[in-house]
Chain A
Amino acid sequence: MKYLILFLTFLAAGPLAAQNALPASPYADQQLADPDKEAKARALMDELRCLKCQSQSIADSNAPMAGDMRSQVRERIAAGETPEEVRNWLIERYGDWVSYNPSVNAKTWPLWAAPIILLILAIWLARGRFRRRKDRE
């Protein structure tokens, strides 16, 4: 009984993190009724970076703000926006930083071009070696 009272006292002490004093946004942790839209929203949430826990996606993060972002993503997709529109809405506000799936632009094109350039360079180098070996034979 003593322990029960102690336990109840702790419960009544109120939430330590008052930013959680408010209920979460409606769709922070609730799936959309339409499985198709939920799948789209879910895929996008995995590719959006949490602003608080900066190495997690909003799907992984327990931060209240990540919950608010998840709810926004679900609500916007439920309202008929495409995942790319939602992603661009966030990029407009937070920059490329917020998306784990970078868009091709003046700053990021080497991400795609570098492997191709390196491959071409490697083939060119290898060809030179093979040819020389043949000449020697």
Chain B
Amino acid sequence: MNRWLLWVPLGLFAAFFAVVAAGLMRPKDNIIESKMVGKPIPEFTLPAAIEQRPALTSADLATGEPQMLNIFASWCVPCIAEAPQLLALEQAGVKINGIASRDTPQDIANFLSRWGNPYVRIGTDVRSIVQLELGSSGVPETFIIDSKGVIVHQHVGDIRKEDVAELLKIWREAG
């Protein structure tokens, strides 16, 4: 038998070991990317979350101009952290649509009066139905939708200060 062949099992084991070790050393990644990115926004109709803002339907997101869709909740702490960034995006001219996840009108109103209201429309998704349609797995999450109503970007987790410029760039390019 070829002498080199003797080393094949050890080589296979080393490869197996490397794969497992790499898997153990890689930091845990809990982010689930939506497969809806690149697809048109799914059809939905949500009732208004608070009296001061109109309700939200999928038709409102395909109006010929790029928009943002932010999923939030009053019970969500990172949503408080991203509130100033959402206000900054609103200041920059972005139309931000809100979806309140599993929330009550009173709690939403309190949350917005305390941390600011950057939304043009807010729909209330009490049973996570639209969230599941969007392939979103939690709050907060932000989608950028282009002028034709196609989802072009998903941001999972709170928007940090350093994310604002990038999101603005994607939003401008979606026009």
Q: Residues of A at under 8 Å CB distance from B? A: 17-19, 21-22, 25, 51-52, 54, 64-65, 68-69, 71-72, 90-95, 97
Q: Are A94 and B34 in contact (CB under 8 A)?
A: yes
Task: Name the contact of A93 in the complex, choosing from B75, B76, B127, B133 (C-beta under 8 A).
Answer: B133
Interface size class of B (residues with CB under 8 A): 20 to 34
Q: Residues of B at under 8 Å CB distance from A? A: 30, 32-36, 73-76, 101-104, 107, 126-129, 131-135, 137-138
Docked pose: A17 CA to B107 CA in angstroms: 12
Q: Are A64 and B138 in contact (CB under 8 A)?
A: no
8 nearest A-B residue pairs (beta carbon): A93-B135, A51-B137, A18-B75, A68-B128, A19-B75, A25-B127, A19-B102, A95-B35
Q: Are A69 and B35 in contact (CB under 8 A)?
A: no
Docked pose: A19 CA to B100 CA in angstroms: 11
Docked pose: A70 CA to B30 CA in angstroms: 21
What B residues does A25 contact at CB under 8 A?
A: 127-128
Q: Are A51 and B35 in contact (CB under 8 A)?
A: no
Taking CB as reference atom, which chain A residue is nearest B124? A22
Docked pose: A65 CA to B139 CA in angstroms: 11
8 extra interface residue pairs, beta carbon distance < 8 Å, beyond A19-B76, A25-B128, A93-B35: A17-B75, A19-B101, A22-B104, A65-B138, A68-B132, A72-B132, A93-B36, A95-B32
